[in-house]
Amino acid sequence: MPTAPFWMTTYGDIMTLLVTFFVLLISMSEIRMKKFRDAISNFQRQPGMFSGSKSVVPADYSSGSSQSRARKRAEQYEQFLKRLEERGLGEKIQADLKKEGIHVVIADSLMFRTGRARLLKPSRTVLRELANLLSRDVGSVVVSGHTDDRPIGTRKFPSNWELSTARAASAVRFLQERAPEYDSSRFQAVGHASTDPRASNQTDEGRAKNRRVEIMFNWRSWNSNKTTSTRPTPESTATGP
């Protein structure tokens, strides 16, 4: 009766020992499935990590349609920044692309004269560019007016509450006129007066940073049950205590 070669006997013994060794390792280890699944999902969300490339699409946009929408939003944002730079307005405007939408901060020196709420000509150029961002992707627009802490006390604006609200409403009205097809109920004008400073009001530089208009182009609309969505006017009531 033929027998196996001697090397096969040795090979079989080694394989048996290896299998026994791995069985013992597995029996003494604890597999944490949650961590394992999290690790796998991280690899799935970052297909380009091994090629050295960086994905600009957030992890939330893993599906094809969401990925395409996120790419379109990023392109809108880049085009907006490019047009601002071409017009030499980059220093007076800060724009950030966030998960919630596009956040724009405009210095009030570009928008209004001191103690006034009428838009200056340079601000109209900026707002025309911003109106181009109004599309189906934008669910709501919140325009916020901010002042420094110096009191105003004029006949038209008894306090900074009225001034900041009127400035926000002026910007909203202009955006509405430039994009009449965009539903006016999606706009909101809010006056913060001096309650939300970005810098100290102890210096001229700090006060200049605090006098601003902020515009948030939200991808999602607000909850109509919690927020009144009516067309803002300069007489709108400011938010505050």
Strands 212-218 and 101-107: antiparallel
pLDDT value for 53: 34
CB 232 within 8 A of CB 167: no
Q: pLDDT tens, 105-144? A: 999 999 999 999 999 998 998 899 899 888 878 899 999 9
Q: Is the pTM of this model over 0.95?
A: no
pLDDT value for 129: 87
Lookup: tokens for 159: 């306090």
Task: In whole angstroms, give the CA distance from residue 59 to residue 50.
Answer: 17
Task: In whole angstroms, give the CA distance from residue 224 to residue 153.
Answer: 34
pLDDT value for 112: 95
Q: Which residues contact 84 (CB under 8 A, 6 or more apart)?
A: 90, 93, 95, 126, 129
What CATH number should be reported for the domain whose range is 67-218? 3.30.1330.60
pLDDT value for 221: 84
> In this model, does residue 185 exceed pLDDT 60?
yes
CB 74 within 8 A of CB 101: no
pLDDT value for 20: 85
Smallest CA-to-CA distance from 104 within 22, 176, 212 is with 212
Angle formed at CA 140 by CA 129 and CA 66, multiple of 5 degrees: 90
Lookup: tokens for 171: 């910007």
Task: In whole angstroms, give the CA distance from residue 198 to residue 31.
Answer: 49
Task: In whole angstroms, give the CA distance from residue 239 to residue 192.
Answer: 6
